[in-house]
């Protein structure tokens, strides 16, 4: 709240122009490289069916008719969002013997994409305006492709002290 004299001029409020588009992406990465960036068509959201389709793309590269990027025995970390915990997703993961690192509820500090990947991406995109969705997608893909292995390694290895802190806090509660 601001105190003003009754005769003070009215302050003008500037309208903030919203971005022309909002893009949703699902990303998969490991300690050395971005494995897959799945960008959803405008207006779509992630549900269990869509998430399992993305997992299928990780498992089998249909477009190039070759084995996928990940095979049985993969270990994933994802949060507790509904598409990740749905029965269909759990059945898919069990069928291909992919394990999930448990993720305590309300713990974005244990999600490497949240604490290590998306912050720098937002800073990279900050202040830029994109007229078309494909310009934004191109910029995101270009930024991901320029990240070196050390960036990904640091992100994965910084998870360990975060887990240790979480476990220590659970023991003191």
- For 35, 51, 52, 66, 67, the CA distances from 63, given in Å and listed in that order, are 16, 18, 17, 8, 10
Helix (H) or strand (E) holding 167: helix 159-172
pLDDT, mean of residues 17-21: 56
**Domains within the chain, CATH numbers bracketed:** 25-172 (3.30.420.10)
Q: Is 166 within 8 Å of 110 (Cβ atoms)?
A: yes
The pLDDT tens digits for 49-95 are 999 999 988 887 544 445 556 666 678 888 889 999 999 999 999 99
Residue 3 has pLDDT above 80, yes or no: no
- pLDDT tens per residue, range 128-161: 888 888 898 999 999 999 999 999 999 999 988 9
Residue 126 backbone phi and psi in degrees, to 5:
-55, 130
Q: What is the pLDDT of residues 34-52, one digit of tens each?
A: 888 888 888 888 999 999 9
* Lookup: tokens for 62: 């249909």
Euclidean distance between CA atoms 24 and 22, whole angstroms: 7
Q: How far apart, in whole angstroms, are the C-alpha atoms of residue 140 and residue 173?
A: 41
Residue 21 has pLDDT above 70, yes or no: no
pTM, two decimals, is: 0.75
Residue 44: predicted pLDDT: 85
* Residue 137 near residue 39 (C-beta atoms within 8 A): yes
Phi, psi of 99 (to 5 degrees): -95, 155
Name residue, tokens 């360990």: 160
């Amino acid at each position: 709240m601001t105190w003003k004299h009754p005769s003070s001029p009215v302050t003008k409020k500037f309208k903030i122009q919203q971005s022309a588009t909002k893009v949703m992406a699902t990303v998969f990465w490991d300690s050395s490289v971005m494995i897959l960036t799945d960008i959803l068509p405008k207006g779509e959201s992630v549900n269990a069916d869509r998430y399992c389709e993305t997992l299928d793309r990780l498992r089998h590269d249909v477009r190039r008719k070759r084995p996928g990027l990940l095979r049985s025995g993969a270990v994933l970390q994802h949060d507790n969002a509904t598409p990740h915990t749905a029965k269909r997703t759990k059945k898919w993961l069990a069928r291909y013997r992919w394990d999930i690192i448990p993720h305590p509820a309300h713990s974005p500090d244990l999600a490497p994409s949240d604490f290590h990947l998306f912050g720098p991406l937002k800073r990279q995109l900050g202040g830029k305006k994109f007229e078309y969705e494909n310009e934004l997608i191109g910029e995101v893909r270009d930024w991901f492709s320029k990240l070196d292995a050390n960036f990904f390694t640091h992100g994965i290895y910084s998870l360990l002290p975060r887990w240790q802190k979480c476990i220590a806090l659970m023991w003191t509660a």
